[in-house]
Amino acid sequence: MKTKIAVLVSGGGTNLQALIDAQGSVLTSGEIALVVANNANAYALERAKKANIPTAVVLKKQCGSQEAFEEKLKEILTQYGIEVIILAGFMTILTEKFTSCYPRRILNVHPSLIPSFCGEGFYGLRVHEEALKYGVKVTGATVHFVNEIPDGGEIIAQKAVYIEPGDTPEILQRRVMEQAEWILLPQAAEMVCAGLQE
């Protein structure tokens, strides 16, 4: 039996696509059983539909509070028998009340080498802007377990990416995705899913 994975998304879903593409090759111990978005217009939902993966949309506004939002999420995850959760560009910070229900079972990919350029407010282009501003020569991506501290959970895997002369935040963001995030996330997902089956 494969470990059932839910991928939580907010936007375009490029990391979701990397996971979908890795099923059956890199990702063999787990399968994506559900994609949940907190944005009804997330293009990631289209990617899931194309791959025949069930989807759900949970909106915090409709739930009325963070607590109600997390309860609704848990309900849907339970319904689908989800064992591992992957945050792929999911733009909501989950509280300890939620994360403590899934110890060492929630993964997130962050576009830097933690502990650099991470924590509250560090997401999207800002991470790459700060890396360039600071003048680091190497950046990359980190997959880590999620706890109640933003980007604070135990590191599962990291991959370095060199910064090139003339990089803009946008160019760097793309290179980090292609050379690190899209490779690392499926590998880390496989490690966690395989570990649960031992």
Catalytic residue ranges = 110
SS3 188: helix
Give the β-pairing of 30-37 and 138-145. Answer: unpaired
- Provide the domain count of the chain: 1
pLDDT-derived band at 188, boundaries 50, 70, 90: very high
Q: How far is CA 112 from CA 23, 31, 137, 163, 184, in A?
A: 25, 26, 12, 12, 12
Task: Summarize pLDDT for 114-125 with one digit per residue, the tens.
Answer: 999 999 899 999
Domain extent for 127: 3-196
CATH for 174: 3.40.50.170
pLDDT at 148: 87
pTM over 0.75: yes
The answer to whether residue 198 scores a pLDDT higher than 90 is no
Dist CA 114 CA 108 (whole Å): 12
Q: Which residues of 76-108 are buried (b: 16+ CB within 10 A; e: fewer)?
A: bbeeeebbbbbbbbbebbbeeebbebbeebbbb
Mean pLDDT, rounded, for 117-144: 96
Section 6-23 average pLDDT: 97
| CA–CA distance, 39 with 26 (Å, rounded to integer) | 28
What percent of the chain lies above the pLDDT cut of 70?
100
Beta bridge partners of 27: 23
E strands, the chain, are 3-9, 30-37, 55-57, 84-88, 106-110, 138-145, 155-162
Q: Convert the pLDDT of each residue in 69-101 to its tens digit.
A: 999 999 999 999 999 999 999 999 899 999 999
